[in-house]
A and B are shown apart, each in its own frame.
Chain A
Amino acid sequence: MSPLLRILLRDLALLLPGGKRGGTLLPLLFFLAVAMLFPFAVGPDAPILARTGGGMIWVAALLAAILPLDRLVAPDLEQGFFDQWALRGISEEAVIAIRVLAHWLSFGPPLMIAALPASALLGIDKAALRTVELGMLAGTPGLAAIGVTIAALTAGLRTGAALSGLLLIPLAVPLLIFGAGALSTGGESGIALTAAISMVLIAIAPFAGGAAIRAARAD
Chain B
Amino acid sequence: MLFSGVSMALEPGAALQVAGPNGIGKSSLLRILAGLARPERGEVAREGAVGLLDERLALDEHQPLGKALAFWCHLDGCQPETHTDLLGLSALLDVPVRYLSTGQRKRAALARLIDQQAPIWLLDEPLNGLDTDGVALLISLTRDHCAQGGIVVVASHQPFGVEGLVQLPLADFAP
- Chain A interfacial positions (CB closer than 8 Å to B): 1, 3, 6-7, 10, 14, 20, 78-81, 83-84, 86-89, 217-218
Question: Is the beta-carbon distance between B56 and A87 smaller than 8 angstroms?
Answer: no
Q: What does DSSP make chain A's interface, helix, strand, loop or mixed?
A: helix
The number of chain B residues touching the other chain, given as a range, is 20 to 34
Give Cα distance in the complex from A178 to B33, angstroms.
49
Contacts of B71 in A (CB 8 A): 6, 10
B57's partner among A3, A20, A80, A87 (CB-CB below 8 A) is A80
User: How many interface contacts (CB-CB < 8 Å) are there between A and B?
Assistant: 51
Q: CB-defined interface of B41-74 with A at 8 Å, one 1/0 digit per residue?
A: 0000000011110101111111000000001101
Give Cα distance in the complex from A14 to B60, angstroms.
10
Minimum CB–CB distance from A194 to chain B (whole Å) comes to 35
Question: Is the beta-carbon distance between B75 and A3 smaller than 8 angstroms?
Answer: yes
Contacts of B112 in A (CB 8 A): 84
Minimum CB–CB distance from A100 to chain B (whole Å) comes to 20
Q: Please name the residue on chain A nearest to B112 by beta carbon.
A: A84
A20's partner among B38, B62, B75, B118 (CB-CB below 8 A) is B62
- B37 interface hit (Cβ, 8 Å): yes
Question: Is the beta-carbon distance between A87 and B51 smaller than 8 angstroms?
Answer: yes
Q: CB-defined interface of B105-118 with A at 8 Å, one 1/0 digit per residue?
A: 00000001000101
Question: Is the beta-carbon distance between B37 and A79 smaller than 8 angstroms?
Answer: no
Most chain-B CB neighbours within 10 Å: which of A1, A20, A80, A84?
Answer: A84
Contacts of B36 in A (CB 8 A): 83, 86-87, 217
Enumerate 10 A-B pairs (CB-CB under 8 Å) in ascending A order: A10-B60, A78-B56, A79-B56, A80-B57, A83-B52, A84-B58, A84-B72, A84-B112, A87-B34, A88-B76
- B21 interface hit (Cβ, 8 Å): no
Question: Is the beta-carbon distance between B38 and A80 smaller than 8 angstroms?
Answer: no
Give Cα distance in the complex from A83 to B38, angstroms.
14
Question: Is the beta-carbon distance between A83 and B58 smaller than 8 angstroms?
Answer: yes
Q: Please name the residue on chain B nearest to A90 by beta carbon.
A: B75
Contacts of A218 in B (CB 8 A): 37-38
Q: Please name the residue on chain B nearest to A219 by beta carbon.
A: B37
Question: Is the beta-carbon distance between A79 and B58 smaller than 8 angstroms?
Answer: yes
Give Cα distance in the complex from A3 to B52, angstroms.
19
- B88 interface hit (Cβ, 8 Å): no
B35's partner among A6, A7, A81, A86 (CB-CB below 8 A) is A86
Give Cα distance in the complex from A14 to B35, angstroms.
28
Q: Please name the residue on chain A nearest to B55 by beta carbon.
A: A80
Give Cα distance in the complex from A87 to B59, angstroms.
15
Which B102-133 residues sit within 8 Å CB-CB of chain A?
Answer: 112, 116, 118
Contacts of B76 in A (CB 8 A): 88
Which B63-105 residues sit within 8 Å CB-CB of chain A?
Answer: 71-72, 74-76
